[in-house]
Structure formats: structure tokens, C-alpha cells
A and B are shown apart, each in its own frame.
Chain A
Amino acid sequence: MDFPQFLIQLLNSVQYGLLLFMLAAGLTLIFGIMGVVNLAHGSFYMLGAYLAWSLSTAFGSLTLAILVGAALAVAFGLALEWLLFRHFYKRSHLDQVLLTFGLIYIFEELRSIIWGDDVHGVTIPALLSASIPLTENLSYPVYRLFMSGVCIALAVGLYLLISKTRLGMKIRAGAFNRDMAESLGVNIKLIHATVFALGVGLATVAGMIASPVASVYPNMGSQVLIMCFVVVVIGGIGSVRGALIAALLVGLVDTFGKVLLPSMAGMLVYMLMAAVLLWKPEGLFKA
């Protein structure tokens, strides 16, 4: 591998890492603040992709589809929190896992009923459909760079929201000591509903933004779910900063693993996770 080649692969890793971060951010948020293990997180990603496909076909514009889809997703998240998750915050992790595992099946079946089992593609908006030539026969799609940009914006936004705003302060207080925060007048129920809807919104938006490059197909959520959990565990459960570092790390290991050690590519990410857990059993950053 020569130097330009190395740089391109580095770009690939960062870009993949940022995408993983966008997916894992919602998971780690819900995990860290409400203590809910949400196995259905991948389903929201799939939901986003299918929404992007059907709405962009209906409206003829992916941008409009993403805006409408995001609003729908947040509403859906609020409804789901109010109907189901609200009653599970104080239950054991096993109950939560059973609930969210069941939801995976329900969402898959609903997807099959509403949208069918076909594979679909979403067209990249004309503005972003160009490619930038890197070498004589490799170009880099502008849309991938755009995705990375969105992910960076999201990371910064989340950081500001959680550490600089009043809402963020309440969220942190609620996660640290629920009863104390409540007795100081923080409406924890509302905070939880907001965070949950935000988490669902993040996963759905990730699915919508990724849909033009990922294609839209059944079961696509279950494939990303495992990687999301790896990222969350490496980063430290509940830590958004940890998730970002971990996602970049996983992107790096996965990309270079595939190129340099192809026979072990499937294992390397998990070996990284095992190594991190041996070194720091609570993950890189404690929330």
C-alpha cells in the first residue's frame, strides 16, 4: 500500500466510522440516560430507509422526504415511549430485552405488510450526485462526503445540546440521580420522552441519509445493530463522546483489517472490543 492509497483508506475508515457514530449515538443516549437496552434500534434504521424510499418516491425529493420523515419518526418515538417504554424503565434488563426483541419481529412484519419484501434504491439528489476523481480510476462520491459532514454536524450538535444547554443539564441530572432531579423540579417523564424520541429520530435519520448508498432491503437493521452495540460497549455505555471515538476506532480497524488481514476481517472488530474491555471493563469513557 503506497501513501496515496493509505490516505484514501484512511478517508474510508473515517467516513465509515462517522456513519457508525450516527447510528450508535441514539442507542447510547437511550441506554445511558434511561438504562433501556433497545434491541429494536436497528429497526428504526430500517424504518428510516423505507420512509426515505417511499416518501422520496411520493414527493420526488429526498430532502423533503428526510424533513417529513424526521418529524414522523419523532412523533413515532414519542408514541412508542408513551405506550410501551415508559413502563419499562424500572423493570429489569431482561424484560426490556424481551420487549425490544419482540418489537424487532413486529417491525419486520409491519414493514413486510406495508412496503413488501423487495429491494429498493433511493436516488441521490442531483446536487450531490457527482464524484471527485482521486486516482486515475477511483473517484469519491460527493454524497459520502456529505454524509460525513452531516455526521460531524450531528456530533457537534449533540455535544452542545448535552453539555451547554439547560435541557442537557436536566438530562444529565436525570441520568445521574433521577429522584434528586425530580425533587428539584425537573420533569423527568418529559425529559425521558424527549430523549427517547431524539434517539429514535437519530436512528431514523441515519437510515434515511444512508438509504441512497445503503439500498433499502428487509432485515437491513439487524446487520447494523450488532456493530452499534460494539461501538456503544467500546465507547462506554451512555457516553456520546465515547461512542464517537469508538466508532472511529471501529471504522479504522474494520477498513484496514479488510485490506491487510482479509482472512481475519470478520473477527478483528470483536478482538478490539475484547481488548478494550480487558483494559477498561466499563469502556473507554464512563458516562
Chain B
Amino acid sequence: MTSRRLVLTRSAAIVGAASTGLLLPEIVRAQAARVRVGLMLPYTGTFAQLGVAIENGFRMAINEQGGKLGGREIEYFKVDDESDPSKGIENANKLVLRDKVDVIVGTVHSGVQMGIQKVARDTGVLSLIPNAGVHAATRSLCAPNVFRTSFSNSQPTRALGKVMVDKGHKKAVWITWKYAAGDEAFEGFKEGYTAAGGSIVKELGLPFPQVEFQALLTEIAALKPDAVACFFAGGGAAKFIRDYAAAGLKDKIPLYGSGFLTEGVLDAAGPAADGIITTMHYSDSLDTPRNKNFRLEYAKAFRSQPDVYAVQGYDSGLLLVKGANAVRGDLANKATLHKSMQGAVIDSPRGKWTMSPSHNPIQDIYVRRVENKENKVIGVAAKALADSGAGCKMA
């Protein structure tokens, strides 16, 4: 009966730990114990690589501090969220209730994020979002203990419209997958494009994650807009870029998109991607000493090239370091912790950014053009762009 013995020894250990804890004054316990950091990221499935990149980036930021937070040692707890929304709440609860983590870093998938959001709001645990751009997390469901270090889904496309109009493209067709992220990206594009004086001829969509674009490409050719703007990502993005070029549209109707269109797929898309203009908060080719140094150090430490996800993970680490230093490692001091994180200026590889009142980055959005399988930065589309944070009421 090994399993029963195991249970018995474990419970004994927990009882022991709990009783010692009770004997010590609060502050001593906080200082002596390790900071418990929960990483809730996808380690299997389609987003597995994103999870690894985020964790690498996060650990890199912590390791730059000697592997400590506010002077305290760290213990990591990892959960593979499998990008499965139905397990989101359960997995987040595992970290909070079983592992008693002080902070959850996660995650990539917006559906899973909503599970973490619920647990964060219910338990008050500090939650750092290193990718998922779902609006609600920093709008209607925002919370004092939830901070996003990536972007909101409408942020990259919010800056796209002006870029297109400046190039003289005033009539555009929008195309995306019909799901939450696609709809939120459209919201940003619509606002930015109409504000800049452009008009959207037609909004096209197909169910996520279908990749049969031919019918819609035929329609684009018939509509003859000045340009096409889109939101796609991953394998579907590579296919869209290739199909767009194969249909002969590439040289006749310029293609624009949210930066995710050309992230991680340029090898697969090949020459079909050349000339595509996108807007996003980062680019591998960003020519600043800060970014170059970051890329060099990351490549040395992890023997792979960092991407935007690694940067977002790194920034989550930087933000946590700022907060932990402000409270000298006592993460239970929530008022001071949240206040210092809210006011933090993050010196990121993407450029300096600050927190909006609803806890989403206020950041520069770059214009990038694909040249030779690289996203070349050709300008800044918007300086210090903030998400509206509409409907956010901090309790």
C-alpha cells in the first residue's frame, strides 16, 4: 500500500509545516519562506512553444536578479494548461489552493485566461498575463491584482488604420476568423481606420480555425478594395499568406495585418510574405541596444532565438521584480505591491512602457514590413498607445 503510506507521510509533512508556521510571527515566516511562483502555461499542444518561450523569458528576468525576488528565494510550481478552457479554473485553483502560490504567471489562450481571471478575482492572488489579449481581463472584469504585460487584442490593429490611410488606401476589406480574438482585433481596426478617414467596404470572416480561403479570396478580387487588412495567426496565417499570393492578389491589392500574421510563419510562407505590412508592439529586428543585448543574452542562455512571446514573459518577470523589490519580498503586502506595479516603468526590449489604469501596457506600436523572411521595422505607427479599458472598475 505505497500510495496510502505516501498520503500519510505527505499529510504529516503538511501538518508539520503548518504547525511550525503557526509558531512563528507573521513577518519572520514571510521572510524565511520562499516566494511561491506558479507558472500556468501551455506545455503541450499547438501553443507549447509559446509556453516555453514565456517561461524562458520570465526566468531570464528573475535570474538577472540573482534568481531572487525582493531578496527571497523562489520556488516554482508548473501546471500545463493544455490551452484547454474547460480546465482553466481547475488548473488555476490547483496552483492557488494546493500549491499556495503567491503569484500566477499565465497564460497564452484567452479562454483559459478567463478561468485564471475568475480565480484571481475570487482569491485575490496576484495574476500576471504574459500573452492572452482577451479584452475583458483589463476591461469589464479588470481587477487590482491582475496585470497584463502583453497587449489587448485590439491594440495592434488599432494602430493599423492610420498606416493604411497614410499610404493612400482608403477603401479596405477586413478578413478574419470569426471568434473572440478576431472580433476584438476588428474592433481596433474599425476604430483606427474610420478615425483616420478610411472606410471598410466589407467585413469577411470564416469559422475558426478553418483554412479554406479560396471563396473569400475570389470575393476580395471582385470587390477590388484599395487594400486588405486581416487578423490570422499560426499555421492558418501561413496558409492565408500563400493563398493570397497564389490567387494573384499580392501584387494588385496590398495586404496588411495585425503583427501576429507574420510571427513565426515567415519561413513557411516564403516569398509570398514579402512586402506585407503589419503593426505590433515588438519586432525581432528592432534596432535598439536594449533589444540587441536582450536577444544576445537570451540566445546564450536558451540556445534559441527569442520571439515576441519570450519578450512578454521577460516583461512579466521585470514587472514582478519591481513589485517584489518595493515590498522587500513580502508579497502579502498587497496595497503597496499593486501600487508599485501600477506605477512601474518597464524597460523592455520592445521599448519602455507603463501600465494603464486598467493594467494593460501603454506602449509604442511599430510598423513592420516583411523583407527576406524578417519583420523589418519601418516606423512607429502609434506612440504610447493605450487600451480604452472601457468598463473597468477597480474594486
Interface status of A61 (Cβ within 8 A of chain B):
no
- On whether A215 and B268 interact (CB within 8 A), knowing A138-B221, A138-B247, the answer reads yes
Interface status of B222 (Cβ within 8 A of chain A):
yes
Bound complex: CA of A265 vs CA of B235, how far in Å? 21
Query: Closest approach, in angstroms, between the C-beta of A174 and any C-beta of chain B?
Result: 35
Query: Closest approach, in angstroms, between the C-beta of A229 and any C-beta of chain B?
Result: 15
Question: Which of B19-27, B86-94, B120-128, B211-219 is near enough to bind chain A?
Answer: B211-219
A133 and B269 within 8 A (CB): no
Mask, A104-129, CB within 8 Å of B = 1, is 00001100100001111101000000
A131 and B248 within 8 A (CB): yes
Q: Is the interface of A mostly helix, strand, loop or mixed?
A: helix
Which of B46, B49, B215, B238 has the most A CB atoms < 10 Å from its CB? B215
- On whether A223 and B249 interact (CB within 8 A), knowing A117-B48, A218-B46, the answer reads no
Q: Which residues of B have CB within 8 Å of A137?
A: 221, 224, 248-249, 252-253
Interface status of B184 (Cβ within 8 A of chain A):
no
B248 and A217 within 8 A (CB): no
Interface status of A12 (Cβ within 8 A of chain B):
yes
Q: Which residues of B have CB within 8 Å of A144?
A: 214, 246
A119 and B212 within 8 A (CB): no
Contact of B268 among A119, A135, A223, A259 (CB under 8 A): A119
A218 and B235 within 8 A (CB): yes
Query: Closest approach, in angstroms, between the C-beta of B137 and any C-beta of chain A?
Result: 25
Question: Which of B138-146, B200-208, B295-303, B334-342 is near enough to bind chain A?
Answer: B200-208
Bound complex: CA of A258 vs CA of B270, how far in Å? 28
Interface status of A8 (Cβ within 8 A of chain B):
yes
The total of Cβ contacts below 8 Å across the A-B interface reads 120
B267 and A139 within 8 A (CB): no
Bound complex: CA of A246 vs CA of B246, how far in Å? 27
- On whether A141 and B235 interact (CB within 8 A), knowing A121-B270, A215-B268, the answer reads no
Q: Which residues of A have CB within 8 Å of B204?
A: 262
B248 and A121 within 8 A (CB): no
- Number of B positions contacting A (CB below 8 A): 41
Interface status of A255 (Cβ within 8 A of chain B):
yes
Mask, A184-226, CB within 8 Å of B = 1, is 0000000000000000000000000000011111111001000
Interface status of B210 (Cβ within 8 A of chain A):
yes
Q: Which residues of A have CB within 8 Å of B269?
A: 121, 215
- Number of A positions contacting B (CB below 8 A): 44
Query: Closest approach, in angstroms, between the C-beta of B186 and any C-beta of chain A?
Result: 13
A119 and B234 within 8 A (CB): yes
Interface status of B243 (Cβ within 8 A of chain A):
yes
Q: Which chain B residues (172-210) contact chain A, with CB distance < 8 Å?
A: 178, 204-207, 209-210
Interface status of A16 (Cβ within 8 A of chain B):
yes
Contact of B206 among A8, A133, A265 (CB under 8 A): A265
Q: Which residues of A have CB within 8 Å of B222?
A: 1, 5, 135, 138
A213 and B242 within 8 A (CB): yes
A255 and B248 within 8 A (CB): no
- On whether A135 and B267 interact (CB within 8 A), knowing A117-B49, A218-B235, the answer reads no
Interface status of B265 (Cβ within 8 A of chain A):
yes
A138 and B218 within 8 A (CB): yes
Contact of B246 among A1, A117, A141, A262 (CB under 8 A): A141
Bound complex: CA of A44 vs CA of B211, how far in Å? 18
Interface status of B71 (Cβ within 8 A of chain A):
no
- On whether A255 and B215 interact (CB within 8 A), knowing A121-B242, A121-B269, the answer reads yes
Bound complex: CA of A15 vs CA of B268, how far in Å? 23
Q: Which chain A residues (40-92) contact chain B, with CB distance < 8 Å?
A: none
A16 and B248 within 8 A (CB): no
Bound complex: CA of A69 vs CA of B63, how far in Å? 46
Q: Which residues of A have CB within 8 Å of B44?
A: 109
Query: Closest approach, in angstroms, between the C-beta of A196 and any C-beta of chain B?
Result: 28
Q: Which residues of B have CB within 8 Å of A140?
A: 247
Interface status of B162 (Cβ within 8 A of chain A):
no
Interface status of B264 (Cβ within 8 A of chain A):
yes
- In the assembled complex, 10 residue pairs joining A and B whose CB atoms fall closer than 8 Å, in A order, are A108-B45, A118-B264, A118-B268, A138-B222, A140-B247, A213-B239, A213-B242, A214-B211, A223-B211, A265-B178
What 5 A-B pairs are tightest by C-beta distance, nearest first?
A217-B235, A139-B248, A266-B207, A138-B221, A121-B268
